Amino acid sequence: MRNIKKLHKAEYRPMGDLKTWSPLPTRTLQMIDPFIFLNHHGPQVYPPNNNGLPFGPHPHRGMETVTFILDGDIAHKDSDGHYSVIESGGVQWMTAGRGLLHSEISSDEFKEEGGPLEILQLWVNLPKRLKMMQPHYRGLQEDQISIWKNEEETIKAQVVSGNFKGIRGAFDTPTSVNLSLVHFDKDSKIQLEIPKSDNIFFYVIKGELEVNEINVPELHLAEFSKNDEKLNIITKEKSILLLGHAEPFEEKVVFGGPFVMNSEEEIQQAYEDYRSGKMGSWE
């Protein structure tokens, strides 16, 4: 079985009235190549007449954002002309590539009526050869996302990208990143085989999972070695897992706020291009 090297608890980093847990990066773990950032917002309940999500127009370059809406909604708009409102159970995938502006706020309906909210946003790096590719966005509602279920229907995986037990993901992506959101009923189990060459992203959103005889509580990210292919997962309570795996890029990574590049010079160029309007404009 694949060994767990260490468990990393998400750090609490609220953004005003938005509860936020961040399992990556933290003081104990910088990245799991090519997975570079995760914010877990909520769960919480917003009152009527609220301000909603605070993520107004901002730029990105050199990476992808994958947003999972467990509760609530997101109104996405970007400088390439895309607009959508994705509701509970849906997923957004945005490839920033050479750069664009976007906003992620709550719909007018959610701000007026309030309600439960829980959203995760994962940043996935792009390799150097793709960092300046054409930007792309796609948002899918829950009923548009591929589903895998076990025979007992005690485990349901929303297959977002790549492949999960023979089911192809709903999103076609520029790299071979596998991403699934896996929902477990109480007293269920599954065995997965993940190539030893892949890095694994394993974040327990809710509940607790026993993985290769190690308990992983909610709000914890498990860091794995590369000694074996097998993951044996057992659950004693209802749980939700964000599971990813991919071949690492093994390239230098330089962060510059919303930009993820391979050198400091490229970060400075990204800021210059943003200020000069090369990433688009906002009406």
Does a structural domain hold residue 204? yes
Q: Which residues of the chain have pLDDT under 70?
A: none
Q: Tell me, what CATH number does 226's domain have? A: 2.60.120.10
3-class SS at 124? strand
Q: Given this model, what pLDDT does residue 283 score?
A: 73
Residue 60 among known ligand-binding residues: yes
Q: Given this model, what pLDDT does residue 282 score?
A: 84
pLDDT tens digits, 221-266: 999 999 999 999 999 899 999 999 999 999 999 999 999 999 999 9
Q: What is the span of the domain harbouring residue 33?
A: 4-275
Count the domains in the chain.
Answer: 1
Does a structural domain hold residue 280? no
Does a structural domain hold residue 282? no
Does a structural domain hold residue 194? yes
DSSP assignment of 144-177: GSEEEE-TTS-EEEEEEESEETTEEPSB--SS--
Does a structural domain hold residue 137? yes
Residue 102 among known ligand-binding residues: yes
Q: Is 63 exposed, middle or buried (0-12, 13-18, 19+ CB in 10 A)?
A: buried
Q: Given this model, what pLDDT does residue 21 score?
A: 98
User: 0.85 exceeded by the pTM?
Assistant: yes
Residue 245 among known ligand-binding residues: no
Residue 41 among known ligand-binding residues: no
